[in-house]
Amino acid sequence: MLVLGIESSCDETGVALYEMGSDGTGTLLGHALHSQIAMHREYGGVVPELASRDHIRRTVPLLRQALADCGRTLEQVDAIAYTQGPGLAGALLVGAAFAEGLATALGKPTVPLHHLEGHLLSPLLSASPPRFPFVALLVSGGHTQIMRVSGVGQYELLGETLDDAAGEAFDKTAKLLGLGYPGGPALARLAEGGKPGAVVFPRPMLHSGDLDFSFSGLKTAVLTYVRGKELDEQARADVCRGIQDAIVDVLVTKALAAVKKTGMQQLVVAGGVGANRELRRRLNAKAVKARIQVYYPELEFCTDNGAMIALAGALRLAAGAQAKAAGPIAIRPRW
């Protein structure tokens, strides 16, 4: 079974082909990605209208590239999976309309998917993937959630952010420091040169006893700290280090609490913030002590991509999910 996956929920256009064998083993055959980051940078954030128009321009060339990479033809595709939501309405519409239109022309069914399901399953693309069940820490620009994942389609929400997502906290504080867009990776880079403990920001809800998060207060704390100060290079790095440590501390503490609470031995970290090196360092160190395994997607599959959508579609179908008849388009921007 050959599944074509299409991702267009925000500022990355991703197209991929995933083949699922009859024995349940799958292979990512080809994938192509275009990031719009450079285009949005001068505006300091994603401009939805520009994002939609760029998805329109990129989808067909990326599809051609993904097919050429693995020597397959469109006629060999059995189903088309795509991100139905959540995300920017116009951007989602491009992927959904493209997928439903192409599926109609080919006489093949579609599999509309939740974007986070793609992130959640993305570590299964690795050479040594986790096995169900596992606890997942989903940390992206729009979401921060802890889930119990018992199998494909069996997800239980254990905790989530009450306000800003972890990626949003990185991005917004980075913006306050004038680090440009997207701020997360830039802030993380500067933080590498910062002194641990030189600047300490609050760790909201660290001891709340539940698995929820709150990151919106961090912006105010950073704003209050930097206001009126002339920061030299080292001082800026120290602030970045303080921000990163506050976010990472809460994420690590809650993720390990979830593992303990559920009695599981495997933790999966997915979503853009999962690329953060300090988060990985700290989790790996704690995991050895707690005798648990931590799994991450390959770095290229941490942020948005088509491979995770093709994979999620193939896994859903392999698990017996019904594909949808091609045609009607229903996106879910706030899903």
Residue span 285-304 as binding mask against Zn ion, x where in contact by CB under 5 A, dash where not: -------------------x
Q: Does 117 bind Zn ion (CB under 5 A)?
A: no
Which distant-in-sequence residues (6+ apart) come within 8 Å of 97 by Cβ? Answer: 329
Chosen from ligand KG4, Zn ion, none, partner binding at 159 (C-beta under 5 to 8 Å by type)? none
CB 333 within 8 A of CB 87: yes
Residue 140 annotated as binding site: yes
Chosen from ligand KG4, Zn ion, none, partner binding at 204 (C-beta under 5 to 8 Å by type)? none
Residue 81's nearest CA partner among 155, 18, 35, 153 is 18
Q: Judged by CB, which is closer to ligand KG4: 108, or 115?
A: 115
Q: Judged by CB, which is closer to Zn ion: 82, or 201?
A: 82
Rounded-to-integer distance, Cα 25 and Cα 199, Å: 48
Chosen from ligand KG4, Zn ion, none, partner binding at 79 (C-beta under 5 to 8 Å by type)? none
**DSSP structure class, residue 198:** S
| Nearest approach, Cβ of residue 182 and ligand KG4 (Å) | 4
Residue 284 annotated as binding site: no
Residue 274's nearest CA partner among 141, 85, 118, 113 is 141
Rounded-to-integer distance, Cα 151 and Cα 131, Å: 9
Element (H, E) at 106: helix 89-106
Tokens of 204: 């909201």
Q: Does 185 bind ligand KG4 (CB under 6 A)?
A: yes
What is the strand order of the sheet 110-114 is part of?
26-35, 12-20, 2-7, 79-85, 110-114
129: preceding bond cis by omega (within 30 degrees): no
Chosen from Zn ion, ligand KG4, none, partner binding at 4 (C-beta under 5 to 8 Å by type)? none
| Nearest approach, Cβ of residue 10 and ligand KG4 (Å) | 6
Among positions 7, 171, 238, 245, the unique one binding ligand KG4 when judged by CB under 6 A: 171
Q: Judged by CB, which is closer to ligand KG4: 5, or 317?
A: 5
Residues annotated in the binding site for Fe cation, as ranges? 115, 119, 304
Binding interface with ligand KG4 (CB under 6 A): 10, 119, 140-142, 167, 170-171, 182-185, 188, 271-273, 275-276, 303-304
Binding interface with Zn ion (CB under 5 A): 140, 304
